[in-house]
Structure 1
């Protein structure tokens, strides 16, 4: 019987380091050759398993990513109007909001043309809304998940929206007529503005807002009509007309306060153009070329020689009366820039142009006048600048009622009066004389006047007045004004 081979290392088995060869050598005397016995190689010792490393590292990375994402993303379920922005950054949400608004389509009436938010120039402050959504509803705040949608205020570009709607539905628009200002032959008058009609942009903006908020890509809307006012309205036109008409009332070329060369309103109106700008404001412009012919003719109307005059004064030189009006001479200066300067001035609403002139002052002759009465000689003298120019006899007051002597001035002139006096004790002072002419009071009741009831001039005959023939009284009445000097002496 053959011995069984024993696994190296088993109990009672030979050591593998010394018995391996014996185990493979045939025994002596064994007639039947047996195949050698080979031992299986020894299995390596099992390694320790580290499965937690292979699972833990990815999980940690995932957790870190989620935490990081929760710090930059908007909470799930968040929507701005109809645009879902949950799990997006504020920048991505901004793009999504803008893109959705631009693509939102309005059908203008059943089966009508279509316009998009982009066509209408629609905008929202998407950046601010997205920033608010992230600030109020960050992903890490689970209490804000799936909250109510945030609203978005839509603004239309009025000019772009109107152009798009006109192209899409021209029949919905009637153009307004602007107010105008024109000269009617006597003044500037206004042709009133006429309003037009169009699509109500405020209402359409609301429709776009509702469509955007609903999330529907396309919505049919009912159009509302609105009044389209002209840019240049009647009130602005009337204000411009009033300004122009005020200029027509005083337009001209002036020397000081004198309107030396008035301009006919029709001529002035032909210089002016009143028009409205793009902003509806009216402006007045003047054409220098149309003004120039009038400027060329100014010299004939402006230039003049001085005219000398004369004045009456008292002894101290105070002017009492102008007997001959004088006027200064003048010569027109350089007018090369007058037309363009006046055109600018008219555009500013000022129609009084001050001309450049050189003035030659008039000479005024002075006449210092005085009436002198010599009671001793019973003579009256007219004196001018100290020289006697005429004289005649008078009748002054008698001894019982002498004429007062002294220096006086004429207080008043009266062409005719009834002179009366009464006394209960002295008949001398009882008188009533009608139709006394050319009276000049100089001191209380004493006067220079005409006498028709006697011809005894050269002798005292009055109650104190200085009497003379009527024609002589008229002579000094017209010659010596109020304030003139009267000198009465013995």
Structure 2
């Protein structure tokens, strides 16, 4: 057996000794054997159980706080769909998925067929709704938990919905007939064939049913499958609007120079340039064929070009116009027509059938005739001047002694084809009476140039102050000299 040794302190404990160690009594007698101490026990380790439990708890708490910053509050619903505890992205997916799976039952149709929101092309702005739900009801804000449901506006693809509904319940659908437009040669006008409505399921009622089901948290909803009238895409009213536009174009069709329709275009010809096609938005598109327009453009020049018509005016010596004999009309020459056909085609497509032609104006030549009358009392002769050249002259008879004609520079201020002169009562001034004096042209008070049929003594003084002229000479001057013509009377 092994021997025990102890440490010399109160805390000693027996230990085993090895066989190489000897024992001896402790009271002497011989050598004292050396003491053998047991090795010291290691100090006990401190217990850290609380620390190891606390770290995971702290991590979990941090994770919970972090997640609360990105999640929607518990109890939140959007359009009837619970989205509490979800991220906005997951909530958006849930909303769209619920709408896609919601089933509409066509109650009353054969077999009461069903269509889903996905088949109807139903949609909603799921992302905006989810983002709004998170913004108003985040998880970290406990006061926003268990919020009231939010409503959502559901949209529906009318084309997809009609296709899905008609496939599910074909007996409820009849195709509408669109209005059409054509040119009627008998009336030379565009006319419409009226639209005929069809029947089908009211797509709006389906949309409202889906929206209500979503708000109520339902995944299945019934609607009354009684067919309703379905208007044609291209209605009679829309066709009539286009016809009014087209026929207005035919009324105005032509090539214009200013406000003048210089080259009108026959209604049937203009109609042959046009195509009228229905398009997907329910309206009619008007196009024009530039190649069909080009032959008419090629024939425009002789119809448009014209020479200028010269004008002629009568003026006084200062150049002021007294009378226009011929006004003068500008000529014109057709300009570059290389793009006229294509430009006109584009213009017709916009509804404008009045094409303004490119032309160059050719100005007329205006001849000016500066006219005046010169009465020479010394010569007893009247001269007509035109542009300072004598064009006619006649002997006249001016005022006799006591009735001398006034001298000076005057203008014709009144003209009468015939007038009685003097006084029928010869006992009163001016003591003469001459009826029906022809071609009277007053220039100075009661002094006038006029014809004298009662004598043939021209070249000698004879009158009471007027300038007597041969009747045919007075008629000529009456026409030749407009109002305002200058009259010079001198010796």
* TM tier, smaller: 0.7 to 0.9
Is 1:461 matched up with 2:459? no
CA distance, structure 1, for counterparts of residue 140 and residue 256 of structure 2: 83
2 CA distance for matches of 1:302 and 1:137?
Answer: 78
Pair 1:90–1:345, CA change in 2 (3 A): closer
Alignment of 1:184-195 (within 5 A): 191=192, 194=195
Is 1:80 the equivalent of 2:85?
no
Deviates more, 1:137-146 or 1:447-456: 137-146
* CA gap 1:249/1:80 in 2 versus in 1, 3 angstroms: closer
Q: 1:353 aligns with which of 345, 351, 356?
A: 356
1:104 Cα shift?
A: 0.3
- 2: CA distance between counterparts of 1:380 and 1:343? 67
- How big is the shift at 1:146? 4.8
> Among 105, 108, 113, which residue is 2:106 paired with?
108
The counterpart of 1:370, out of the listed 365, 372, 377, is 372
Q: Deviations over 1:60-110 (max 9, x none)?
A: 489646666655554444433333334444333332222111000001223
- Partner SS, residue 429 of structure 2: helix
Let me know the Cα RMSD of the aligned residues.
4.3
Equivalent position SS for 1:436: strand
- CA drift of 1:340 comes to 2.8
How many Å separate the matches in 2 of 1:71 and 1:406? 112
- How far 1:347 moved relative to its partner? 4.2
5 Å-filtered alignment, 1:90-105, equals: 90-105=88-103
In structure 2, the CA distance between the partners of 1:317 and 1:115, relative to structure 1 (3 Å rule), is same
Kept in 2, the 8 Å contact 1:106–1:115? The answer is yes
> How far did 1:324 drift?
5.4
- Who is 1:298 aligned against? 300
Instruction: Describe the SS at the equivalent of 1:429.
Output: coil
1:123-202 aligned within 5 A: 123-138=123-138, 146-170=146-170, 171-172=172-173, 174-175=175-176, 177-178=178-179, 180=181, 182=183, 191=192, 194=195, 196=197, 198-202=200-204
Q: Tell me the SS of whatever aligns to 2:410.
A: strand
Deviates more, 1:326-335 or 1:440-449: 326-335
> Which deviates more from structure 2 when the two are superposed, residues 387-396 or residues 63-72?
63-72
1:471 and 2:472 matched: yes
* Conserved 8 A contact 2:179-2:195: yes
Does the residue aligned with 1:428 lie in a helix, a strand or coil?
coil
**Deviation of 1:51 (Å):** 12
State the distance in 1 between where 2:97 and 2:69 align.
25
Counterpart in the other structure of 2:33: none
Output the CA distance in 1 between the equivalents of 2:342 and 2:286: 14
Q: Tell me, which stretches of 5 or more residues in structure 1 are unaligned? A: 1-7, 9-14, 19-46
**1:14-413 alignment runs, 5 A limit:** 56=53, 60=57, 64=61, 72-110=70-108, 111-138=111-138, 146-170=146-170, 171-172=172-173, 174-175=175-176, 177-178=178-179, 180=181, 182=183, 191=192, 194=195, 196=197, 198-223=200-225, 225=228, 228=231, 230=233, 234=237, 238=241, 241-242=244-245, 245=248, 248-249=251-252, 251-254=254-257, 259-273=261-275, 277-279=279-281, 284-304=286-306, 308=310, 310-323=312-325, 332-348=334-350, 349=352, 351-357=354-360, 359=362, 362-413=364-415
Separation in structure 2 between the aligned mates of residue 404 and residue 17 of structure 1, nearest angstrom: 179
Structure 1 pair 446–87 and aligned structure 2 pair: CA distance change class (3 A):
same
| Conservation of the 8 A alpha-carbon contact between 1:335 and 1:356 | no
Following the alignment from structure 1 to structure 2, what is the Cα–Cα distance between the partners of residues 430 and 194?
A: 94
Label 1:362 to 1:90 Cα distance change in 2 as closer, same or farther (>3 A).
Answer: closer
Change (3 A) 1:246 1:460: farther
Q: Give per-residue Cα distances to partners, 1:307-355, cap 9 Å, x unaligned.
A: 5554433323344344456556655554443333333444452624233
Compute the TM-score of the two structures, normalised by the length of structure 2. 0.73
Which deviates further from its counterpart, 122-131 or 59-68? 59-68
2:35 is matched with none
The residue aligned with 2:10 is none
Q: 1:282 to 1:439 in 2, by over 3 A?
A: farther
Contact persistence 1:179–1:237 (CA under 8 A): no
Tell me how far 1:477 sits from its aligned partner.
Answer: 1.4
**CA distance 1:73–1:288, change in 2 (3 Å):** closer
Contact 1:247 1:351 in 2 (8 A): no
CA separation of 1:428 and 1:234: change in aligned 2, threshold 3 A: same
Number of equivalenced pairs: 446
Give distance in 2, aligned partners of 1:434 and 1:181: 76
Q: CA deviation at 1:264?
A: 4.0
Contact 2:371 2:386 in 1 (8 A): yes
Q: 1:268-292: per-residue Cα shift (whole Å, max 9, x none)?
A: 4443445565445666543322322
